[in-house]
């Protein structure tokens, strides 16, 4: 008897709290105001990229992991020296972590059964450059293939160009667009929900 009255009391309390929560949210929504700013017009401005990002990947394969690692370290030094000779600053050059992969070759025996044999390790590493000197990075990206003649297995990507002050430019264009609009530069709509 006592436990059933406790359960009833708990249920009533929960119901009262839930009802109060619903009424509170309804009251807040009733007097909630929304504001929207709409800008009409157009603006245009020419700009040039001021930042370039470029990367290349080089790799080495060897049956012995230590030998592949030593060869990759030599290649890394050659790549760094080449980029510095191209006028790229050392602090603009970044080497990513070395990626290690185990290689296997697929074979078939006389009965047609397939099996794999270990064929060595392939180690690869990516070098990336981020610089404001667009011409030097562009030249380096085109000339880096000369390292292949030194035995480096290398693949180069196309440089990507960016404008670092894009957010400031957006704000400037929005400001120009709102000033150029002849009817209503800025419309402020305010809706207040009431009974």
What string of H, E and C letters represents the secondary structure of 16-52?
A: HHHHHHHHHHHHHHHCCEEEEEEECCCCCCCCCCCEE
Region 55-65: what's the mean pLDDT?
Answer: 95
pTM to 2 decimal places: 0.60
Residue 10 has pLDDT above 90, yes or no: no
Query: What is the H or E stretch that residue 12 is in?
Result: helix 2-30
Region 24-33: what's the mean pLDDT?
Answer: 45
Residue 145 has pLDDT above 90, yes or no: no
Q: Which residue has the higher pLDDT, 148 or 28?
A: 148
CB distance 121 to 63 below 8 Å:
yes
Region 174-192: what's the mean pLDDT?
Answer: 51
Give backbone dihedrals phi and psi of 165, rounded to 5 degrees, phi first: -110, 35
What is the Rg, in whole angstroms, of the alpha carbon atoms belonging to the chain? 33
Instruction: Identify the band that residue 107 occupies on the pLDDT scale cut at 50, 70 and 90.
Output: confident
Region 148-176: what's the mean pLDDT?
Answer: 76
Residue 50 has pLDDT above 80, yes or no: no
Residues 6+ apart with CB under 8 A from 191: 33, 34
């Amino acid at each position: 008897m006592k436990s059933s009255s406790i359960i009833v009391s708990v249920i009533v309390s929960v119901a009262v709290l839930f009802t109060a929560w619903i009424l509170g949210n309804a009251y807040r929504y009733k007097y909630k105001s929304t504001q929207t700013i709409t800008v009409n017009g157009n603006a245009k401005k020419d700009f040039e990229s001021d930042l370039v990002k470029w990367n290349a990947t080089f790799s080495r394969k060897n049956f012995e992991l230590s030998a592949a690692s030593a060869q990759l370290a030599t290649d890394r030094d050659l790549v760094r020296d080449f980029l510095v000779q191209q006028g790229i600053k050392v602090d603009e050059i970044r080497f990513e972590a070395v990626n290690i992969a185990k290689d296997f070759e697929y074979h078939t025996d006389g009965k047609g059964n397939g099996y794999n044999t270990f064929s060595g390790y392939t180690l690869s590493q990516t070098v990336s450059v981020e610089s404001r000197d667009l011409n030097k990075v562009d030249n380096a990206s085109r000339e880096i293939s000369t390292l292949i003649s030194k035995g480096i297995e290398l693949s180069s990507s196309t440089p990507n160009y960016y404008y670092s002050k894009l957010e400031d430019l957006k704000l400037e264009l929005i400001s120009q667009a709102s000033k150029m609009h002849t009817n209503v530069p800025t419309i402020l709509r305010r809706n207040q929900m009431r009974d």
